[in-house]
Amino acid sequence: MTGILDRPSNAQISQSLQARSRARLRGLSEAQLLAYLADTVYLERKRFHEQRRSDPARPDEVARIEDCARATRGGRAEQEAALLALVDAYSGEIHNRFSKRAYRVATTVIPGALSRLLTSTNPRQLLAGEFDPDHRVILETAAGDDGAALRALARRHTLIFAPTHLSNMDSPLIGYALDRLGLPPAIYGAGLNLFSNPVMGFFMRRLGAYTVDRRKRNRLYKDVLKDYSVDSLGRRCHSLFFPGGTRCRSGRVEGSVKKGLLGTGLIAWQEGLRTGRADPEILVVPLALSYSLVLEAETLIEDSLEEEGRRRYIITDDEFSEPRTVATFARQLLDLDDAVVLRFGAPMDLLGNPVDANGTSLGSDGAPIDRRAYVTDAEGKVQADEQRDHVYTEILAGRLVEAWHRDNTVLSTHLASFAAGRLLRQANPGLSTTELVLLPTEERTLRRAELLAAIEQLLDQVRRLEAAGRIRARLPRGEGEVEAILNEAISRFRGFHSRRVIEGRGDRVVLDPRLLLYYSHRLHRYGLAGEM
Amino acid sequence: MNIGILGSGPWGRALATLAAEAGNRARIGYRGTPPTGFPGSPNLAALTAESDLVLIAVPPSAVREVVRFARPGPGSRVVIACRGLEPETGGWLSEIVTSESACLRVGAITGPAIAAEVQHRRPAAMVVASSFQEVAALTQKALHSPTCRIYTSSDLRGIELAGAAVSVLSVAVGIADGLKLGVGVRAVIVTRGIAEIVRLGRALGAEPDTFRGLAGVGDLIAAAGLTDHPGTAAGLALARGHAVDAETVSKAAALLALGQRHKVELPLVEAVAAITAGKLKARLAIDGLMRREATHEG
């Protein structure tokens, strides 16, 4: 078996990615090749100009693009050579610096040092102390076991973990979760900006992160990134995709998915079938993350509320860029019971069908189906069809979205926020969401008793959704549960954010509508009336 | 190509005729009496497994049961060749296929092709839609011939909605004809009915042009000109004060419910639903529609 622990060299990766690119370029007409090259030159020059002050391009980067520019006036061979030189450079940038030794060290110390991982400024400080995360970071699997079913699947198949994405803490937390469940490590693409936190950068690289420079928007770079994913899956590297792309700005469970990276699973699978590779099967494991508090909530919801939110695709100045802020947050978050819930959903094939314990696809009647027939002809030969695969990926995306919503865990901070938001909405029926978040203090104050009644009503609705298997909940139960939910939420919100989301003041509570909106969004898309 | 047609009624046989005209081998899956004129099989699963393309030509209420018997698999391509939503659930017929079986490659075909005319080799045209280009192309290859033009589309939702709408709006046309309201009213029903469906289609993400083409306007004009079209015939019966079959009642109710779920006003559909359910007299319904508030066309 190969995988992340048998990391290929930079030269091997470059050779493989160049071969894929060469095949792609050969399929282009002369006009298409020229357009491909010109697109790369134009967008890279534009990038150089845009970041000339913040992060000037290196001379070798500029030289390669200028070689490409000259090649636009040359023949086909010259154009291909210029692009392949760029592929070589990109492959070096992207390929992870995963280190087997560092991985082993990290996975040994992380269970006892997760908080320090997030709070240290020097990796060497990681080696001391005890920390029991069992009640802080809750790990659940659809099989209801300790991860044995997933471990068995991971031994025989390549797994793609597909989580929701809320925070930059997600990937280290998932790395930790994989280790705690005894699952092998997974590679994942991480934005360059995430490496600005030195400790996180150190571990992200060594826990399988490969570098994604989102400032590079040219088609060649995107194609090389996809090829890298296909290549890695083909080498049996378990992979971690964030199908939603960037962190969800609104705090919602993602309702849509970017298809580019997700589609690489189908490509790698069919390539494996076509070439007769051993163990070509690839399965997808949905993963729903629920945080009591989200480090970057304030920045993200502000961004979501701004119409131009999408322009800030790369946020470099959020709470995550400040090691001290991360430290404070991690200390406070990880001091809470049920601080974070990671639920590994039921594994599925690349078409979104459920699979059994052996990884065999199952039909709606629970009977085994031969999934290869989705991509092969009657003689069992793989039939290439990009358009078909695009629709298959859309179907998989839809099944992932359903799974994330089913596996989403409601925590007290989410429930109390939705209930409070519902009351704000009822009190201000004519206002838009944007107007609601601008309410003055006196108009965003509620009677505590009124909020408790709203929580009780919402709790009943959530329990019904939970009984129907449409959502999960981890909330105080039993006598006085409503009061306990509100108290827990207020206490948690007191912890970190610069503004209190819900603040108790005697028989009244004062709300921060922006953050309320963010946390209430965890209950979006369940048909609950009165959403903010 | 081997074309399997599930449904041995007039429309199933018409599709078999078209497939044969296009140079393919058509077989009809049936339950009960074997079809005449074409080879048939009572084993729907075997027929499905042996077919390059499967066309389902049974009433909407029977689609789920037929799919359960036929058990299309991951390699199957299935095209819905009947109009409407599932009466009990209001669900899309193509989604019944994907939820009841392992088949993902589905499509739908509709348009102004009349079973009796097709069987007499008269010229016809239809449109097939699928998210999968290969399914649309395969269906075109299966049925396109000098007697029938098959157009392709990627707007599966629009095509299914158009089919469901025509089966209800044709009832309205029948009612107007039965009440002898004249040709002008018939044209009003066609145009305003299509306007309603365009609104609903927009809410569902369908393309407005779909409803202005063969599947919408084309199919409704054909239905309006045929007294033995199932919808028009039901409308004529209602105008005479007779009750209609449960399938017609449920088709109208399902379409109305779909509009309500998406908060789209459908006055004509609502009137047909009320008349077919026996809640409103046809003449009163027409009167009610004419007394609606004056508004812009759109």
Rounded CA gap, A266 and A283, in Å?
A: 10
Is B75 in contact with A391 (Cβ distance < 8 A)?
no
- Residue A411's pLDDT is what? 96
Q: Is A364 on the interface with B (CB under 8 A)?
A: yes
> At residue A260, what are phi and psi to the nearest 5 degrees?
-55, -60
Pairing mode, strands A340-344 and A137-141: parallel
Query: Could A387 and B132 be called an inter-chain contact, meaning their C-beta atoms sit closer than 8 Å?
Result: yes
Whether A418 shows a pLDDT value over 80: the answer reads: yes
Contact flag B102-A394 (C-beta cutoff 8 Å): no
pLDDT (average), residues A262-275 = 96
Question: How far lies A10's CA from each of A97, A188, A212, A236, A335, in Å?
Answer: 9, 17, 16, 17, 41
Q: At what angle do helices B230-239 and B267-276 cross, to 10 degrees?
A: 70
Residue at token pair 């048909």:
A527
Convert the pLDDT of each residue in B20-64 to its tens digit. Answer: 999 999 999 999 889 989 999 999 999 999 999 999 999 999 999
Domain ranges of chain B: 2-154, 160-290
Residue B65 touches chain A, beta carbons under 8 Å: no
Of the pLDDT bands very low, low, confident and very high (cuts 50, 70, 90), residue A202 is low
Surface-to-core class of residue B281, CB atoms within 10 Å of its CB (0-12 exposed, 13-18 middle, 19+ buried) = middle
By the CB < 8 Å criterion, does B261 face chain A?
A: no
In terms of DSSP H, where are the helices of A356-511? 386-407, 412-427, 433-436, 448-467, 481-495
The ipTM, to two decimals, is 0.91
Angle between helical axes of B183-204 and B267-276 (0-180°, round to 10): 110
Between A92 and B81, the higher pLDDT residue: B81
B284 touches chain A (CB under 8 A): no
C-alpha dihedral, B33 to B39 to B42 to B43, nearest 10°: 180
Distance from CA of A126 to the nearest CA of B (A): 50
Fold category of B160-290 in CATH: N-(1-d-carboxylethyl)-l-norvaline Dehydrogenase; domain 2 (1.10.1040)
Across the interface, of A364, A387, A392, the residue whose CB is closest to B100 is A364
| Nearest residue, CB atoms, A373 vs list B75, B99, B131 | B75
How far is residue B128's CA from residue B114's CA, in Å, rounded to a whole number? 16
Q: Does B133 touch chain A (CB under 8 A)?
A: yes
Model pLDDT for residues B168-220, shown as the tens digit of each residue? 999 999 999 999 999 999 999 999 999 999 999 999 999 999 999 999 999 99
Overall average pLDDT of the A99-115 stretch:
57
What residues of B are in contact with residue A255 (Cβ under 8 Å)? none
Question: What is the token pair recorded at B186?
Answer: 């018939």
Do B220 and B194 contact (CB within 8 A), yes or no? Answer: yes
Asked if A370 is an interface residue toward chain B (Cβ–Cβ < 8 A), one would say yes
Closest listed residue to residue A291, CA positions, set A247, A344, A342: A342
Confidence band (pLDDT; 50, 70, 90) for A188?
confident
Task: Please tell me which residue of chain A has the smallest CA distance to B50.
Answer: A378
Give the pTM: 0.89
* Residue of chain A minimizing CA distance to B102: A363
- Over residues A384-412, the mean pLDDT reads 97
What mean pLDDT do residues A224-253 have? 92
* pLDDT beyond 90 at B112: yes
Q: Give chain B positions within 8 Å (CB) of A351.
A: 74, 104
Helix H, strand E, coil C: the string for B224-279 is HCCCCCHHHHHHHHHHCCCCCCHHHHHHHHHHHHHHHHCCCCCHHHHHHHHHHCCC
Q: At what angle do helices A170-180 and A100-119 cross, to 10 degrees?
A: 120
Nearest to A344 by CA among A198, A69, A61, A145: A145
| Inter-chain residue contact B102 with A364, CB threshold 8 Å | yes
A510: burial class by Cβ within 10 Å (0-12, 13-18, 19+)?
Answer: middle
Contact B99 A364 (CB under 8 A): yes
pLDDT band at residue A246 using 50, 70 and 90 as cut-offs: confident
What is the C-alpha to C-alpha distance for residues A316 and A329, in angstroms, rounded to an integer? 18
Q: Which residues contact A38 (CB under 8 A, 6 or more apart)?
A: A72
Min Cα distance B74 → chain A (Å) is: 5
Worst-scoring range by mean pLDDT, A478-482, A495-499, B80-84?
A495-499
pLDDT over 90 (residue B107): yes
pLDDT of residue A317: 59
Let me know: does A44 contact A58? Beta carbons within 8 Å.
no
In this prediction, residue A130 carries a pLDDT of 42
Q: What percent of chain A has pLDDT over 70?
A: 83
CATH for the stretch B2-154: 3.40.50.720
Q: Where are the domains of chain A?
A: 10-94, 133-186+238-352+369-407, 410-523
| Residue B89, both tokens | 């659930």
Name which of A269, A351, A369 to mutate to probe chain B: the one with the most chain B Cβ atoms within 10 A of its Cβ: A369
Find the closest chain A residue to B95 by CA distance: A395
Closest partner CB to A369 (pick from B73, B132, B133): B73
DSSP strands (E only) in chain B:
2-6, 25-29, 40-41, 53-56, 77-80, 105-110, 124-129, 148-153
Distance between CA atoms of residues B255 and A402, nearest Å: 25
Chain B residues within 8 A of A256 when measuring between CB atoms: none
**What 3-state DSSP class applies to A292?**
coil
